[in-house]
Amino acid sequence: MIRKAHRWIGLFVSLQLLAWTLGGIWFSWNDIDNIHGDHLIKLENKKSITKSLVSPQLAIDNISDFHSLNNLQVIQILDNPVYKINYIANSYKQQTILIDASSGKTHAEITKQNAIQIAKSNASFDAEINKVELITETSSHHEYREKPLPAWAITFDYPSSPTFYVSTKFGTVNAVRHNSWRIFDFFWMLHTMDYYGRDNFSNWFIKIFSIIALITALLGIALFFISRRKFNQHNQ
């Protein structure tokens, strides 16, 4: 009875151990920076601003629900200067808004063509666009989960099928996903046994599995002593 239980439980446990082993091999043989897609992003090359800028105060005055300022930055979107203003609204919630630094008007949302230009200007390679998609919602399994929405997904016709996710509100590349990252994400799910969101190490699957693995180990120890006793009895 113990042998039979140990055999079947051991088979179940070995499948998860195999998944952990394969994942461990993948993690150790792949550079985490490459998995993040750092090699696909062009090193930032800041250009000097030549256009005249409106007063930051004028930009702030155009914010209807402004209460107080957290910080203000001058960034560039497609070579156009923009004030990125982080502020506390009248509702006391933290907000971020982009104001065109040349006109003082609220910066328009990023269009499809703008997103393509931004993705291409940030890519460290030259390639044609394979697909463009506007992402307004994601599931817990989506590769862009838990990132700011909406966003444009720009997929290039390039080895490893890289996808650049560009924020429609801020014009920033919020994430880069490619095949190595997707494989990593799959193995990470198997590693954590969090089949819903990937990062919960306290989920019930891994708790139950740890108990089953403990039972398997204890059964194995019991079988060792039972087999040894029978062997000694047989040789007496």
Q: What is the pLDDT of residues 75-113, one digit of tens each?
A: 889 889 999 999 999 999 999 999 999 888 999 899 999
pTM for this entry: 0.81
pLDDT at 45 over 90: no
Question: Is residue 21 very low, low, confident or very high in pLDDT (cuts 50, 70, 90)?
Answer: confident
For the stretch 169-215, pLDDT in tens is 999 999 999 999 999 999 999 888 888 777 777 778 878 877 877 87
Give SS3 for 103. coil
Q: Which two tokens stand for residue 47?
A: 């250009």
The yes-or-no verdict on residue 5 having pLDDT over 70 is no
- Could you give the CA distance from residue 144 to residue 45 in angstroms, rounded to a whole number? 26
Asked if 85 and 169 touch (Cβ cutoff 8 Å), the reply is no
The continuous run of DSSP H or E covering 195 comes out as none
Domain boundaries, the chain: 2-32+186-235, 42-107, 109-177
* Half-sphere exposure in the Cβ direction for 93 (13 Å, CA): 5
Which helix (H) or strand (E) covers residue 130, if one does? strand 129-135
Same fold, 42-107 and 109-177: yes
In angstroms, the CA 97 to CA 75 distance is 12
Q: What CATH number belongs to 42-107?
A: 3.10.450
Domain 109-177 has CATH 3.10.450: yes
